[in-house]
Homo-oligomer: A and B are copies of this chain.
Amino acid sequence: MSRPAASLADVAEAAGISRTTLHKQYATREDLVRAVGVWATDMWEQAVARVAGQPGTKEGLRQLFAVIVESAPHLGFLWRNPAFDEDEELTQRYIAVELRCLAILERARTAGLIAASTPNWWMLQTMYGLAYTAWESVEAGKLAPLDAPDLVLSTLLNGLGGPAAADAGAG
């Protein structure tokens, strides 16, 4: 899943089955890729469903970010495949899940945790960006998995600013 250029022979070997059997289950490579895309979407859906009821509190956001970080590989797979952009069903499902994430962020904004002037798309973008970055850091062994959600939370809410950064002049 992490290597889009892998041949079907490699995939079959990695799956511990023969190439013939792989072709029985997925007639074409496209079928296989889509099946993995559906699976990745399932994973993401289920992960977000676990936290969709969270309130717009710091703890609620922390739960949300924990789920996004752990879904990072699935999201990365979906983002990297341009084919999914033209897949009506997957796109619809993706948007629906994204809206559930956005709902939590909006609650946090209403609660004053996030600046009222922050547009929806930038909340989402920074959340994705920071969470994905945190996941990469975990993969690289630079960040402990359990620390990732807190780091994303504090960075997204407070930035990296020190004592002299009280106001950055924008926002």
Q: State the A residues within 8 Å of B (CB).
A: 58, 109, 111-116, 118, 121-123, 125-126, 128-130, 132-134, 136-137, 142-143, 150-151, 153-165, 167-171
Contacts and interface: CB of A to CB of B under 8 A. Distances in A.
Q: Which 8 A-B pairs have the closest CB atoms?
A: A112-B164, A159-B159, A129-B133, A154-B170, A154-B168, A157-B161, A150-B170, A115-B162
Which of A125, A142, A143, A151: most chain B CB closer than 10 A?
A125
Nearest to A132: B129
B155 A169 contact: no
A167 B168 CA distance: 17
Nearest to A163: B112
Given A137-B121, A154-B169, A168-B153, A160 B126 contact: yes
A102 to B, nearest CB: 13
A125 B139 CA distance: 13
A98 B113 CA distance: 33
Contact of A156 (B128, B132, B153, B159): B159
Given A113-B164, A115-B162, A137 B157 contact: no
B130 A126 contact: yes
Contacts of A129: 129-130, 132-133
